[in-house]
C-alpha cells in the first residue's frame, strides 16, 4: 500500500511538472527579418503558462523568464528570447491572460514560479523580464515571499495605473513608494519616443520604488532608428548581456 502511494505521489508531481511547460518552443521557429511576425504569432499562440525553449546544452542553475505585455503580437520577444537562450541558460516564455488585472496576474505567475522551483530544485537564480504590461506583472512579484534569488526587470512598464486600470481594476494602485524584497530594475523608455505613452499627460513608467534601480534608455539606437516601445527589448537585452 505504501509503495502504491509513493508511485501515485511521483506520478502526480511528474504531471505537475509537465503542466508547467507542456508546450516547448522550438528555437528554430523563431526567425528575425521577414519571418519575425509569424514567429511572434507562433509565440503568442501558446496556451497560458510557462513554456521552455528547446535549446541544446542549457544550464538550469540560472534561468530566464520572459513575460509579454497587453495584446502582444509576440514579435518584440523574438530577438530577446534568442539572446537569452544563446546564454546557455534555460529560458521560459510565460503566456498569460492579459484580461486579468495586474495583481491577479502577478499572483498566478507567483504560483507558477513556486511550482517551477519545486520541480527544479537545482535552480539557484531567476532573471525575469516583463515588457509593457508584463512589467506590471513581474513588478508585482517584488513583495512576494520565498522566491529565493531573483532579479526582476520591468521594461517600458506602466507601473502607475493607466486609464484601463482605473476603470477595470480599481484595486490596482501601482507601485509608487513601495519596497522591493529583491533586486529590481526599471528600464524606462523616453516617453515622447514611446508610442504607448507619448500622448499621455504623464509618464506611467515613473515611480519611486525603494531598492529599485532605474536605467533610462536613449531616444534612438546608434544607427538613428527611433527607440520606441516594442524595440526597447532589443536595446535592453543587448545592454544586459554586455554586463
Mean pLDDT of 18-26: 64
Model confidence pLDDT, tens digit, residues 79-117: 999 999 999 999 999 999 999 999 999 999 999 999 999
pLDDT at 85: 94
Q: pLDDT band for position 168 (50/70/90)?
A: confident
Model confidence pLDDT, tens digit, residues 121-149: 999 999 999 999 999 999 999 999 999 99
pLDDT at 211: 93
Model confidence pLDDT, tens digit, residues 177-188: 999 999 999 999
pTM for the full model?
0.89
pLDDT at 70: 94
Residue 78, pLDDT above cutoff 70: yes
> Is the pLDDT higher at 204 or at 15?
204
Written as one string, the DSSP assignment of the chain is -HHHHHHHHHHHHHHHHHHHT-S-EEGGG---GGGHHHHHHHHHTSPSEEEEEE-TT-EEEEEEEEE--TT--SGGGHHHHHHHHHTTEEEEEEE--TTS-HHHHHHHHHHHHHHHHHH-TT--EEEEEEETHHHHHHHGGGG-S---SEEEEEES---S--HHHHHH-TT----TTEEEEEEEEEEEPPGGG-TTTTTSSS-TT---EEEEEEEEPPSB-TTS-B--STTHHHHHHHHHTT-
> How far, in Å, are 87, 175, 223 from residue 232 at the CA level?
19, 21, 14
Q: Which three cell numbers, joined as nine digits, stand for 155?
A: 521594461
Distance CA 183, CA 163 (A): 28
Q: pLDDT band for position 6 (50/70/90)?
A: very low
Q: For residue 195, how many other CB atoms are within 10 A of its CB?
A: 11
Q: pLDDT band for position 23 (50/70/90)?
A: confident
Mean pLDDT score of the chain, rounded to an integer? 89
Domains of the chain: 26-240 (3.40.50.1820)
Model confidence pLDDT, tens digit, residues 108-119: 999 999 999 999
Amino acid at each position: 500500500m505504501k509503495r502504491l502511494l509513493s508511485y501515485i505521489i511521483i506520478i502526480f508531481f511528474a504531471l505537475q511538472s509537465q503542466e508547467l511547460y507542456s508546450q516547448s518552443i522550438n528555437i528554430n521557429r523563431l526567425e528575425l527579418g521577414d519571418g519575425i511576425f509569424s514567429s511572434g504569432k507562433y509565440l503568442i499562440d501558446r496556451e497560458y503558462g510557462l513554456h521552455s525553449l528547446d535549446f541544446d546544452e542549457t544550464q538550469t542553475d540560472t534561468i530566464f523568464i520572459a513575460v509579454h505585455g497587453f495584446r502582444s503580437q509576440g514579435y518584440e520577444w523574438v530577438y530577446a528570447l534568442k539572446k537569452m537562450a544563446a546564454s546557455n541558460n534555460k529560458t521560459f516564455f510565460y503566456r498569460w491572460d492579459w484580461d486579468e488585472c495586474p495583481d491577479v496576474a502577478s499572483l498566478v505567475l507567483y504560483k507558477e514560479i513556486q511550482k517551477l522551483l519545486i520541480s527544479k530544485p537545482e535552480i539557484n537564480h531567476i532573471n525575469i523580464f516583463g515588457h509593457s504590461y508584463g512589467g506590471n506583472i513581474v513588478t508585482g512579484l517584488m513583495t512576494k515571499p520565498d522566491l529565493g534569488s531573483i532579479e526582476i526587470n520591468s521594461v517600458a512598464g506602466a507601473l502607475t495605473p493607466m486609464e484601463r486600470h482605473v476603470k477595470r481594476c480599481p484595486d490596482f494602485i501601482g507601485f509608487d513608494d513601495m519596497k522591493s524584497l529583491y533586486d529590481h530594475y526599471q528600464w524606462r523608455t523616453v516617453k515622447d519616443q514611446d508610442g504607448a505613452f507619448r500622448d499621455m499627460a504623464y509618464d506611467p513608467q515613473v515611480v519611486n520604488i525603494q531598492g529599485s534601480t532605474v536605467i533610462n534608455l536613449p531616444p534612438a539606437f546608434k544607427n538613428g532608428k527611433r527607440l520606441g516601445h516594442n524595440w526597447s527589448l532589443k536595446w535592453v537585452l543587448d545592454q544586459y548581456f554586455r554586463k
